[in-house]
Amino acid sequence: MTMKKRKIKVFEYVKGLKIKGILAPLFKLFEAILELLIPLIIADIIDNGIKNNDKNYIVFRFIFLVILAFVGFGFSITAQYFSSSVASKYSCRIRKGLFSHVQTLSFKELDGLGTSTLLTRITNDTNQIQTGVNMFLRLFLRSPFIVLGALVMAFIVDYQISLIFLGVIIILSLIVVLIMKYTLPKYRKIQSSLDEVTRETKENLTGVRVIRAFTGEEKQVEDFNQKNEKNTKLQIFVSKVSSLMNPLTYLIINIGIILILYFGGIKVNTGSLTNGQVIALYNYINYILVELIKFANLVITITKSIASLKRVEQIFNVEPSLNFEERKQVEGPYLQFDNVSFKYNENGQEALKNISFSLKKNQTLGIIGGTGSGKSTLINLLGHNYDPTSGRIILDGYPLDSYNLATLRNKIGYVPQKAVLFEGTIRSNLLWGNKNAKEEDLLEALKISQSLDIVNAKEKGLDEKVEQGGRNFSGGQKQRLTIARALVKKPEILVLDDSSSALDFKTDKELRGALSKLKNMTVVIISQRTSSLLDCDQILVLDHGELISKGTHEELMKSCLLYQEIHYTQFEKGDK
């Protein structure tokens, strides 16, 4: 059966933030109510205080305006605090949830998604979501309320002139909707284009030495510029469309102002309106101008955020494809591959074809073959990183797909082909194997992996700093330290995936000698060197995904032509 995982919806991360999410726009609403009162107070000052030259009346109303300003400022600060808190916590939860979800995906899903896509969505997209949530909580109630409130106030002052307000609002709303409808899909394309730029950047930074070795800088710069220009042109095009919002808004509002002043002036002359009321109407239409510009910018930000939200949700909706069966005990050897085949893609060629072998507990298995023969693929199946296309794998009396992933991987200590050290110290890297390991366990693992001399040569010993990617260590040192990290785990199965390729023959021999003395540990060694497999209880010879022969070194030297060819490319004929 396939492991079913409930689809995660990004809105689930709002839990616990709803109260603040309600308070933020609510306080903005209170601020908006106070702001709508200001033009009426100013109109009152003009029509009563200034007209009658009543200084006390003017001062009293002025003090009232100052009080409103301070209260409104308090509401605004409070609303900003709540909206910022909700936005930052929400994006933090999404980023954390997204990272955790990615850790549950199998290698098949990770291969399909790609590193650059995941990086962009965990960083750029979640930041865009944070900005969108913050702006939404601050303005989604305030701006429409100010616009509608200004319309209502205009009706209160003069219902005939308020029809100008109504026409302005309808026209501007249509402009906003049309621009939003056009730009939303374009912003999705921009984010996808950004994925390509990120991928190109990552590949160039990772492979900078190879690029320079083949003098490929100019071509890489040209490729990057093409992708970057494509992204830039798309952004400029969408920005041009979005930029129509402000000038169109100003144009329509200014036409509205002209009409208000014209008809307002006529009504003042006829005595149906006062000067203060005309000023109030002018202020209200300016409120509409300011808030619609804010709302237009909010629409652009929300449009980007919705596009980012959908991209993030796409990752959440990717489910692990690994199959898990009921736990049923099976009789047989400790490790058994029973007619196992595997394809990376449904329509692709088989990476492994009908692989069958068995291994007893605490024995040593060697795997050898040319590049692309399926060695690492076989190990990935052993770690249940992929499901076999057909056949089954038995481990310690149970089908491999009946194990919980944590239980299975606790049994296996894996040393990858490319040695990876994390930024920190030598000690912190070793403790990845077992966070509760004692110092003597660390030193024992270092001794077996032939890396004790590395630590002893460092001034701070185990607490020596490891830079990002372990760049302050040589390739051979990194390989030995990663072997030590796996040994600290004290696994049932130790897998060395060509992890001694950077070691000299002497160190390699000493490492094999130390590993052969280990008890209660099954060792799987992938190597291009036949010398690394001399002491193996069984050696598998792979070629183009097929198991062409198996046996000990001596048996294969007599019966397997490919093994002989590999051996004699490394040693003189007659050597064993």
Residue by residue, DSSP assigns 103-156 as: HHS-HHHHHHH-HHHHHHIIIIIHHHHHHHHHHHHHHTTHHHHHHHHHHHHHHH
Rounded CA separation 116/197 (Å): 9
Closest CA relative to residue 157, chosen from 72, 288, 260 = 260
Closest CA relative to residue 558, chosen from 570, 541, 543, 544 = 541
The pLDDT, as a whole number, for residue 368 is 92
The pLDDT, as a whole number, for residue 9 is 66
**CATH fold of 335-568:** Rossmann fold (3.40.50)
CB 521 within 8 A of CB 362: yes
CB 337 within 8 A of CB 540: no
Rounded CA separation 430/463 (Å): 11
Computed on alpha carbons and rounded to an integer, the radius of gyration of the chain in Å comes to 35
Sign (positive or negative) of CA dihedral 14, 15, 17, 19: positive
For 356-384, the pLDDT digits (tens) are 999 999 899 999 988 888 898 999 899 88
Rounded CA separation 135/149 (Å): 20
Give the domain ranges of the chain: 10-316, 335-568
Q: What is the DSSP letter of 8?
A: P
Number of Cβ within a 10 Å radius of residue 72: 19
Q: What is the DSSP letter of 520?
A: S
Residue by residue, DSSP assigns 288-347 as: HHHHHHHHHHHHHHHHHHHHHHHHHHHHHTPPP--B--------S-SEEEEEEEEESSTT
Rounded CA separation 12/30 (Å): 28
The pLDDT, as a whole number, for residue 341 is 93
Helix (H) or strand (E) holding 96: helix 55-104
Rounded CA separation 553/567 (Å): 10
Residue by residue, DSSP assigns 529-574 as: -GGGGTT-SEEEEEETTEEEEEE-HHHHHHH-HHHHHHHHTTS-TT
Same fold, 10-316 and 335-568: no
Closest CA relative to residue 170, chosen from 345, 292, 60 = 292
The pLDDT, as a whole number, for residue 4 is 44
The pLDDT, as a whole number, for residue 168 is 82
The pLDDT, as a whole number, for residue 1 is 42
Residue by residue, DSSP assigns 367-403 as: EEESTTSSHHHHHHHHTTSS--SEEEEEETTEEGGGS
Under 8 Å CB-to-CB from 99, ≥6 apart: which residues? Answer: 122
For 157-184, the pLDDT digits (tens) are 887 888 887 888 888 878 877 877 777 6
- Give the 3-state secondary structure of residue 74: helix
Asked if the 10-316 domain carries CATH number 3.30.470.10, the reply is no
Residues of the chain with pLDDT under 70: 1-9, 184, 188, 191, 572-576
Rounded CA separation 512/506 (Å): 10
Rounded CA separation 570/576 (Å): 11
Q: Residue 235: phi, psi to the nearest 5?
A: -65, -40
Rounded CA separation 502/10 (Å): 45
Q: What is the DSSP letter of 223?
A: H
